[in-house]
Amino acid sequence: MPYNIIVCVKQIADEVRIDPSTNEPVISNPQYRMEDLSKNAVEEAVRIKEKYGGKITALMFCSDSSTPVMKEALAMGADEGIIITGYKENSPDFSAAVLAEKIKSLQYDIVIAGYASADSYTAQIPARLSKLLGVPLLGSAIKVDISGKKIDILREADDLDIKESADMPAVISVTQETNQPRLPLLANIIASARKPLKVEATAVQYKETSKIISDKAQQSSRKRIIYEDINKGVQEITKVLKQEVAV
């Protein structure tokens, strides 16, 4: 049976440079890319659609209305895109509230999101969505099987793999091991330009819950004694090893 799938996609700064004079990150005018596990989320949505049919809506909450990341999601196989603007960094509770507000207005059987994002790594979004939508969370899924309205997953939970199941509608979070995200074909990239894309500003009120005191690169106090002469290096490092370890 066909499913209505909503996939949450995050964009993150491609590379965060550290300003050596302040030791702080430079985040003005960043180049954005699709967050690593968002790729796995889109891939899983496309695989489910390829198998059972249905419709995929890619949902992004970000600061700008036109983003190559949404185009990539559409080129990978999402059918339509919704961009919500008004993003605030470091506010997973706000992001989840905004996403949930939109998802509630859509028809869905499955919501898929990455387990955690590579930049902030709070891992809060899937669990918050589950609570805000009042639907089960099948989290950290490395394998997803669907039959009718039932979803079975294999969950990777640290040193355990756990079989879990729930009925739709449900939120699934995926990891890097769930699948291998596809690279969009050129023809699909071109075709994605014709797919429907809506942009809207969020109406959810932002409430500040924390204040940033500092955001600096960690200072390394390593000795940094580097040998380009291999023999000399081996000799000196053997001495260090000999001092520290009984060999």
Distance CA 240, CA 244 (A): 6
Does residue number 187 form part of the binding site for another protein (CB under 8 A)? Answer: no
Q: Check binding of 183 to another protein (CB under 8 A).
A: no
- Interaction of residue 245 with another protein, rule CB under 8 A: yes
Q: Please, which of residues 9-48 interact with another protein by CB under 8 A?
A: 13, 16, 18, 24-25
The residue range among 3-11, 56-64, 186-194, 234-242 that interacts with another protein, by the rule CB under 8 A, is 234-242
3-9 vs 54-62, strand pairing mode: parallel
Give Dmax over CA atoms of the chain in angstroms. 68
Amino acid at residue number 65: S
Question: C-beta of 141: minimal distance to another protein in Å?
Answer: 11
Sole window of 65-73, 105-113, 191-199, 230-238 interacting with another protein (rule: CB under 8 A):
230-238
**152 contacts 164 by C-beta, under 8 angstroms:** yes
Draw the binding track, 61-100, toward another protein (x: CB under 8 A; -: no contact).
-----------------------------x-xx-------
Site string for another protein, 96-135 (x = CB under 8 A): --------------------x-xxxxxxx-xxx-xxx--x
137 lines the binding site for another protein (CB under 8 A): yes
Q: How many residues does the chain have?
A: 247
Query: Partners of 198 in the beta sheet?
Result: 82
# residues contacting another protein (CB under 8 A): 75
User: Closest distance between another protein and the C-beta of residue 98, in Å?
Assistant: 14
CA distance 219 to 234: 27
| Cβ count near 40 (within 10 Å) | 25
The CB-of-78 to another protein minimum distance in angstroms stands at: 25
CA distances from 241 to 158, 201, 247 (A): 33, 59, 8
168 binds another protein (CB under 8 A): no
Distance from C-alpha of 136 to C-alpha of 167, rounded to nearest angstrom: 8
Evaluate whether 137 touches 124 at the Cβ level (below 8 Å).
no
Residue placing its CB nearer to another protein in the complex, 61 or 75: 61
Could you tell me the end-to-end alpha-carbon distance of the chain, in angstroms, rounded to an integer?
A: 64
Q: Is 155 in the site for another protein (CB under 8 A)?
A: yes
* Nearer CB in complex with another protein: 136/188: 136
C-beta closer to another protein: residue 18 or 193: 18
Are 37 and 90 in contact by the 8 Å Cβ rule? The answer is no
